[in-house]
Amino acid sequence: MISAGELKKSLVVSLWFAFLTFPIMVVRVDPVESTVLWRWHNMVYVIVGSFFLSIIFRYLLHRRDIQTSRKESGQSNPDQTLIHRWLSNTRSRTIIFVSLLAVALAFPHMPYLSSTYQVNIMTTALMYVVLGLGLNIVVGLAGLLDLGYVAFYAVGAYTYALLNYHFGLGFWVVLPIGGILAALFGIILGFPVLRLRGDYLAIVTLGFGEIIRLVLENWGDFSQGPSGISNISRPGFFGIDLTLDQAIIYIYYLMVLFVVVTIFFVNRLQDSRLGRAWIALREDEIACQAMGIDKMKTKLAAFSLGAFWAGIIGVVFAAKTTFINPASFTFLESAIILSIVVLGGMGSIIGVIFGALVLILLPEYLRALAEYRMLAFGAVLVLMMVFRPQGLIGSIRRVYTYTPTKKGTTS
């Protein structure tokens, strides 16, 4: 199956990587003690690892090229996976949805499986599901790469923290305020940058995200600087005092509710006039304008709706952890949310949910791998773009199939 030429190529690659990673992987110097540590075993790992990975990489690349050439000549049908077939059937879709919801609702009460710690992790994963779905509106549907998404999340979190700290406002009052304020920020950011092309837009949003974080860090009078705000109240439950365990389970149920509501909204939004305008915008901006779609309005709607969800989850985040500081809102956080959307499949709701659960839960349960988490996220972004740009469970492009009638063909 693998020819001698392939093996030789891989051997060259592995030697190249041994050379490439030599200073960083093998040598470790301590300038204070003036000692050098030579870690030759790392070189062996690199050689063996890159040898096999290069074979796999080339094989996958080869397969991808065959597939694209097949697609271009129209031989293969659009990828219809098992999940897609289930989802296209209304009855099985309802069954799947109800059973998933039942599992989610029963989760905190499962013996052996769940503990306060587990429920907490699940809550975090659900928060990322909503964040992913929010970013999916901007990146997946409207095709605007937003690298500063975490800024809106920060706006929501700080809105609740500050209003709670200064005025003692409760969770339920601030929840809509946080969302609306974040949406407003989305419009403020969106308004001037909409003229920009895709990659410039990405960089400006990145800059915007960093500005928000730096301001929060440095404007001590306003945000209490890097030390952050603590003792934020947890969400109230009809005025009843909850114990810590109860409060955690309560927030978990809130998140389940938010996820359901978000899925409902995003799903409806996708099929609405606005949703179709977003998809048209993503596919071709100029053609979309020519069809009479108001580019400005459509883009602003995407930005502000995406930001709205981030703001809501920001409020939940502040209420859940009861402590926030600017360190929670770095660019890496934006990158994690982006990885979720990219891994799951841009524009696909089920994909984003799947992506969030995989990327957040997997590192939590594989503790040994937790420190490689960000390394893996980076690799996921690259590999997904190279081999499967549509994501694990990609959205199916709606295709209008034209079946010529007899009348049409004869004329």
Closest CB 130 distance from other proteins, rounded Å: 21
- What type of residue is 170? G
User: Is residue 49 close enough to count as binding other proteins by CB under 8 A?
Assistant: no
What is the Cα–Cα distance from 88 to 230, expressed in whole angstroms? Answer: 47
User: By C-beta, is 15 or 100 nearer to other proteins?
Assistant: 15
Q: Binder to other proteins among 7, 12, 27, 366 (CB under 8 A)?
A: 27
Residue 37 main-chain phi, psi, to 5 deg: -110, 125
Element (H, E) at 29: strand 27-30
CB of 268 to other proteins, least distance (A): 26
- The yes or no reply on residue 208 touching other proteins (CB under 8 A) is yes
For 209, the token pair is: 């995200």
Q: How far is the CB of 248 from other proteins (least distance, A)?
A: 31
Number of residues that bind other proteins (CB under 8 A): 65
Tokens of 126: 């659900």
Q: Out of 20, 48, 103, 366, which residue is the one contacting other proteins (CB under 8 A)? A: 20
Q: Is 47 in the site for other proteins (CB under 8 A)?
A: no
How near is the Cβ of 240 to other proteins at its closest, in Å?
A: 44
Other CB atoms within a 10 A radius of the CB of residue 279 amount to 18
Interaction between residue 44 and other proteins (CB under 8 A): no
Quick one: 204 or 269, whose CB is closer to other proteins?
204
Phi and psi at residue 35, to the nearest 5°: -125, 155
Cβ-based neighbours of 130, under 8 Å, separated by 6 or more: 255, 258, 259, 262, 309, 312, 313
Amino acid at 373: R
3-state helix, strand and coil shares in percent for the chain, rounded to the nearest 5: 75, 5, 20
Closest CB 406 distance from other proteins, rounded Å: 35
Q: What is the Cα–Cα distance from 220 to 396, expressed in whole angstroms?
A: 48
Helices and strands in the chain, H and E counts? 17, 2
Report the residue from 69, 116, 218, 272 that binds other proteins according to the rule CB under 8 A: 218
Min. distance of Cβ 195 from other proteins in angstroms? Answer: 8
| C-alpha–C-alpha distance, residues 394 and 352, integer Å | 9
Strand, coil or helix: what is 37? Answer: strand
23 part of the interface to other proteins, by CB under 8 A: yes
Q: Which is nearer to other proteins, 11 or 374 (CB)?
A: 374
Q: Is 34 in the site for other proteins (CB under 8 A)?
A: yes
Tokens linked to 183? 């949406």
Dihedral Cα 178, 179, 185, 190, nearest 10 deg: 170
| Number of Cβ within a 10 Å radius of residue 237 | 14
- If the CB atoms of residues 256 and 341 are measured against other proteins, the closer one turns out to be 341
State the binding string over 330-369 for other proteins (x if CB under 8 A, else -).
Answer: -xx--x--xx--x---------------------------
C-beta of 192 vs 404, nearer to other proteins: 192
Q: How many CB atoms lie within 10 A of CB 44?
A: 10
| x/- letters, 112..151, toward other proteins (CB under 8 A) | -------------------------------x-x-x----
Residues at the site binding other proteins, with contacts judged by CB under 8 A: 16-17, 19-21, 23-25, 27-29, 31-32, 34-36, 42, 57, 61, 64, 143, 145, 147, 192-193, 195-200, 202-204, 206-208, 210-211, 214-215, 218, 284, 286-287, 331-332, 335, 338-339, 342, 371-372, 374-375, 377-383, 385-386, 389
